[in-house]
Amino acid sequence: MAGGFAKLGKLAGGNLDLHSKQSRVDIAFLASLMPDEKSKMRVQGAASAAQALERAEDFPLADRVAGRALDVAQSLLARPDVKIDVLVVDRSGKVIGRAT
């Protein structure tokens, strides 16, 4: 499964309706994935998913989002025999996060 940071951020937060008009990225959820209080506060102040990713600086936030999206997808599929890989891509198509 592959998608942009914002769409997979919605899925990672448990939102199954990924249409841009139907749901919003939960910035507080993204902030909760950060490793310490200072970085959580920095991300919490973001106005968008893109800004949250930028404010994460060197922390692999896209990898954390991929991991959480993988957890949600696997629980929905309920088929342990099916392997899911998740790739998070930026707007240019570059892979910025992954989970297997």
Tens-place pLDDT, residues 36-81 = 999 999 999 999 999 999 999 999 999 999 999 999 999 999 998 9
Give CA–CA dist 86/23, Å, rounded: 21
Structure tokens at 32: 């909760």
- Identify the pLDDT of residue 11: 97
- What pLDDT, on a 0 to 100 scale, did the predictor assign at position 70? 98
| Cβ proximity of 62 and 50 under 8 Å | no
* Stated pTM of the model: 0.93
Is the CB of residue 86 less than 8 Å from the CB of residue 70? yes
Percent of the chain with pLDDT over 90: 90
Is pLDDT of 21 > 80?
Answer: no
Q: What is the pLDDT of residue 19?
A: 80
| pLDDT for residue 24 is more than 90 | no
Residue 23 has pLDDT above 90, yes or no: no
- The answer on pLDDT for 22 being more than 80 is no
Q: Which helix (H) or strand (E) holds 47?
A: none
